[in-house]
Structure 1
């Protein structure tokens, strides 16, 4: 699974991506996880399966979700607790739940 985490500037999403990678590895899962800013999103959509969006972009989420859908990418808005978590379990669970909605 190819997961991209997006936030405003890309800094906080980098930490979430690192924790998510560790959690995926601990579960024995193969996951390619990247992080970036909202401004880089268009270049990432063609190469990902799931998009996780930082809660501070909630006001833009409908637009981001629509942009992702056009590219065939499933998107979910992350709760703020993902950024304060010590591990990537919540983010990984959200990515898996998002991926499972594909028909």
Structure 2
């Protein structure tokens, strides 16, 4: 699974993508995460199965969801405190819940996918 993490300038998305890669690897999941920006989204979206959107971009989420839907890509808006997820496990759980990947156990406090 290819996961695009989008933020305004690309700095915070780089950290989130790196943490997701490490968490996925620790769980033996074939996930690839990469960072992008709002500006690079039209190009990056073609290479993604899931798009994680920083909470600060909430005003553009409807446009991102529309563009992603045309490609069959899932959009997940990250909580504002996602930077506190230092090992990426919470972010990974959000991704797995969004795509229905329950092949393993999800950490406590994982939101229901419904």
TM normalised by structure 1 equals 0.92
Contact 2:85 2:91 in 1 (8 A): no
Equivalent pairs, count: 101
Contact 1:6 1:13 in 2 (8 A): yes
Gaps of 5+ in 1: none
Query: What is the CA–CA distance in structure 2 between the aligned matches of 1:43 and 1:84, rounded to whole Å?
Result: 29
More contact order relative to length (CA 8 Å, sep ≥ 6) = 1
Select the structure that is richer in helix: 1
Structure number, greater radius of gyration: 2
Cα shift readout 1:39-85 (whole Å, capped 9, x = no counterpart): 10111111111000000001111111111111211101000121222
Runs of 4+ in structure 1 off by over 3 angstroms are: none
1:90 paired to 2:90: yes
Query: What is the CA–CA distance in structure 2 between the aligned matches of 1:71 and 1:45, rounded to whole Å?
Result: 8
TM normalised by structure 2 equals 0.83
